Amino acid sequence: MEQVFAPWRIEWIEREDQNSEIEGCVFCALSDRETDRESRIVARSEHSFVLLNNAPYNPGHVMVIPYRHTGAYTDLGDDELLDHARLKRRTIEALDRAFAPDGVNTGCNLGRSAGGSIRDHLHTHVVPRWEGDTNFMPVIGETKVIVEAVAETYDRLHEAFAEADDADGADPDRAVSVQ
Protein backbone atom coordinates (compact mmCIF):
# COMPACT_ATOMS: atom_id res chain seq x y z
CA MET A 1 0.00 0.00 0.00
CA GLU A 2 1.26 3.46 -0.87
CA GLN A 3 1.17 6.22 1.71
CA VAL A 4 0.28 9.81 0.99
CA PHE A 5 2.11 12.36 3.11
CA ALA A 6 0.27 15.63 3.69
CA PRO A 7 1.71 17.00 6.96
CA TRP A 8 0.04 20.38 6.50
CA ARG A 9 -3.34 18.68 7.01
CA ILE A 10 -2.57 18.25 10.72
CA GLU A 11 -4.07 21.73 11.26
CA TRP A 12 -7.42 20.37 10.03
CA ILE A 13 -7.20 17.14 12.00
CA GLU A 14 -6.27 18.77 15.32
CA ARG A 15 -8.56 21.78 15.07
CA GLU A 16 -11.34 22.34 17.53
CA ASP A 17 -14.71 22.03 15.86
CA GLN A 18 -15.21 25.70 15.06
CA ASN A 19 -18.95 25.31 14.64
CA SER A 20 -19.69 23.19 17.72
CA GLU A 21 -20.76 26.20 19.80
CA ILE A 22 -23.06 27.55 17.09
CA GLU A 23 -26.76 27.19 17.69
CA GLY A 24 -29.23 27.55 14.85
CA CYS A 25 -28.06 28.29 11.33
CA VAL A 26 -24.27 28.09 10.96
CA PHE A 27 -24.26 30.52 8.02
CA CYS A 28 -26.25 33.15 9.93
CA ALA A 29 -24.04 32.75 12.99
CA LEU A 30 -20.79 32.96 11.01
CA SER A 31 -21.90 36.06 9.09
CA ASP A 32 -22.75 37.80 12.40
CA ARG A 33 -19.32 37.24 13.95
CA GLU A 34 -17.05 40.25 14.25
CA THR A 35 -13.92 38.62 12.85
CA ASP A 36 -14.20 37.51 9.23
CA ARG A 37 -10.91 35.61 9.34
CA GLU A 38 -12.12 33.54 12.27
CA SER A 39 -15.32 32.78 10.37
CA ARG A 40 -13.42 32.18 7.09
CA ILE A 41 -15.40 34.90 5.32
CA VAL A 42 -13.19 36.19 2.51
CA ALA A 43 -15.48 38.92 1.12
CA ARG A 44 -18.82 40.64 1.72
CA SER A 45 -21.26 42.60 -0.39
CA GLU A 46 -24.52 44.33 0.51
CA HIS A 47 -26.69 41.19 0.45
CA SER A 48 -24.21 38.28 0.37
CA PHE A 49 -20.86 37.00 1.60
CA VAL A 50 -18.20 34.52 0.46
CA LEU A 51 -17.30 31.75 2.89
CA LEU A 52 -14.43 29.28 2.53
CA ASN A 53 -15.68 25.71 2.71
CA ASN A 54 -14.20 23.99 5.78
CA ALA A 55 -14.29 20.64 3.96
CA PRO A 56 -13.18 21.72 0.49
CA TYR A 57 -13.28 19.59 -2.65
CA ASN A 58 -10.28 21.59 -3.89
CA PRO A 59 -8.25 24.54 -2.59
CA GLY A 60 -10.32 27.68 -3.09
CA HIS A 61 -13.70 25.94 -2.69
CA VAL A 62 -16.02 28.67 -1.42
CA MET A 63 -19.71 29.36 -1.08
CA VAL A 64 -21.53 32.57 -1.99
CA ILE A 65 -24.28 32.97 0.59
CA PRO A 66 -27.07 35.54 0.92
CA TYR A 67 -27.44 37.07 4.37
CA ARG A 68 -31.16 36.38 4.29
CA HIS A 69 -31.97 33.03 5.87
CA THR A 70 -33.91 31.10 3.26
CA GLY A 71 -33.52 27.75 1.59
CA ALA A 72 -35.51 28.77 -1.48
CA TYR A 73 -33.79 30.52 -4.38
CA THR A 74 -37.18 31.88 -5.43
CA ASP A 75 -37.51 33.76 -2.10
CA LEU A 76 -34.69 36.16 -3.00
CA GLY A 77 -35.68 39.59 -4.29
CA ASP A 78 -34.23 41.16 -7.43
CA ASP A 79 -31.63 43.20 -5.50
CA GLU A 80 -30.51 40.10 -3.58
CA LEU A 81 -30.30 37.99 -6.76
CA LEU A 82 -28.30 40.62 -8.62
CA ASP A 83 -25.96 41.11 -5.68
CA HIS A 84 -25.49 37.34 -5.34
CA ALA A 85 -24.71 37.00 -9.07
CA ARG A 86 -22.25 39.89 -8.99
CA LEU A 87 -20.48 38.49 -5.94
CA LYS A 88 -20.27 35.10 -7.63
CA ARG A 89 -18.65 36.79 -10.65
CA ARG A 90 -16.18 38.59 -8.36
CA THR A 91 -15.45 35.29 -6.64
CA ILE A 92 -14.58 33.62 -9.94
CA GLU A 93 -12.32 36.59 -10.79
CA ALA A 94 -10.60 36.31 -7.40
CA LEU A 95 -10.13 32.55 -7.84
CA ASP A 96 -8.61 33.17 -11.27
CA ARG A 97 -6.23 35.72 -9.76
CA ALA A 98 -5.28 33.58 -6.74
CA PHE A 99 -5.20 30.06 -8.19
CA ALA A 100 -5.38 30.24 -12.01
CA PRO A 101 -7.67 27.18 -12.26
CA ASP A 102 -8.41 25.51 -15.59
CA GLY A 103 -12.14 25.75 -14.89
CA VAL A 104 -14.76 26.40 -12.21
CA ASN A 105 -17.86 24.48 -11.10
CA THR A 106 -20.70 26.48 -9.56
CA GLY A 107 -24.06 25.38 -8.31
CA CYS A 108 -26.69 25.17 -5.58
CA ASN A 109 -28.15 22.10 -3.93
CA LEU A 110 -31.82 23.02 -3.71
CA GLY A 111 -34.04 20.74 -1.67
CA ARG A 112 -33.54 17.53 0.27
CA SER A 113 -33.11 15.32 -2.80
CA ALA A 114 -30.34 17.56 -4.20
CA GLY A 115 -27.97 16.37 -1.47
CA GLY A 116 -27.16 19.60 0.30
CA SER A 117 -25.97 19.21 3.89
CA ILE A 118 -27.41 22.62 4.87
CA ARG A 119 -30.81 22.87 3.21
CA ASP A 120 -32.32 25.75 5.18
CA HIS A 121 -29.90 28.47 4.03
CA LEU A 122 -29.28 28.91 0.33
CA HIS A 123 -25.62 28.82 -0.77
CA THR A 124 -23.87 28.57 -4.11
CA HIS A 125 -20.72 26.45 -4.27
CA VAL A 126 -17.86 27.80 -6.38
CA VAL A 127 -15.16 25.17 -6.88
CA PRO A 128 -11.97 25.76 -8.88
CA ARG A 129 -10.91 22.80 -11.04
CA TRP A 130 -7.65 21.80 -12.71
CA GLU A 131 -6.82 19.33 -15.43
CA GLY A 132 -6.15 16.03 -13.67
CA ASP A 133 -7.49 17.08 -10.24
CA THR A 134 -9.69 13.99 -10.30
CA ASN A 135 -7.39 11.03 -10.43
CA PHE A 136 -7.13 7.51 -9.06
CA MET A 137 -7.10 8.55 -5.38
CA PRO A 138 -10.82 9.37 -5.00
CA VAL A 139 -11.91 6.70 -7.47
CA ILE A 140 -9.86 3.71 -6.29
CA GLY A 141 -8.47 4.81 -2.93
CA GLU A 142 -11.65 6.60 -1.80
CA THR A 143 -9.33 9.38 -0.62
CA LYS A 144 -9.15 13.03 -1.64
CA VAL A 145 -5.85 14.80 -1.01
CA ILE A 146 -6.22 18.53 -0.39
CA VAL A 147 -2.88 20.14 -1.17
CA GLU A 148 -3.23 23.37 0.82
CA ALA A 149 -4.29 24.22 4.36
CA VAL A 150 -7.54 26.17 4.71
CA ALA A 151 -5.75 29.10 6.42
CA GLU A 152 -3.33 29.47 3.50
CA THR A 153 -6.21 29.32 1.03
CA TYR A 154 -7.97 32.05 3.03
CA ASP A 155 -4.94 34.33 2.80
CA ARG A 156 -4.51 33.84 -0.95
CA LEU A 157 -8.17 34.38 -1.77
CA HIS A 158 -8.64 37.28 0.65
CA GLU A 159 -5.64 39.01 -0.95
CA ALA A 160 -7.04 38.39 -4.44
CA PHE A 161 -10.33 40.10 -3.50
CA ALA A 162 -8.41 43.03 -1.99
CA GLU A 163 -6.23 43.37 -5.12
CA ALA A 164 -9.32 43.37 -7.32
CA ASP A 165 -10.94 46.06 -5.17
CA ASP A 166 -7.80 48.22 -5.40
CA ALA A 167 -7.63 47.78 -9.17
CA ASP A 168 -11.35 48.50 -9.68
CA GLY A 169 -11.53 51.67 -7.62
CA ALA A 170 -14.93 52.66 -6.28
CA ASP A 171 -17.26 51.21 -8.94
CA PRO A 172 -20.42 50.45 -6.84
CA ASP A 173 -21.49 47.67 -9.23
CA ARG A 174 -18.31 45.77 -8.45
CA ALA A 175 -17.61 46.82 -4.85
CA VAL A 176 -16.79 44.08 -2.40
CA SER A 177 -15.92 44.63 1.24
CA VAL A 178 -12.79 42.86 2.43
CA GLN A 179 -12.12 43.19 6.16
Catalytic residue among 69, 123, 125, 158: 123
Residue pair 121/25 in contact (Cβ under 8 Å)? The answer is yes
- The answer to whether 62 and 106 are in contact (CB under 8 A) is no
Sheet with 62-66, edge to edge strand ranges? 41-44, 48-52, 62-66, 124-129, 103-108
Catalytic residue status for 123: yes
Give me the torsion for CA of 136, 97, 27, 138, rounded to 10°: 0
Write out the catalytic residue numbers: 123
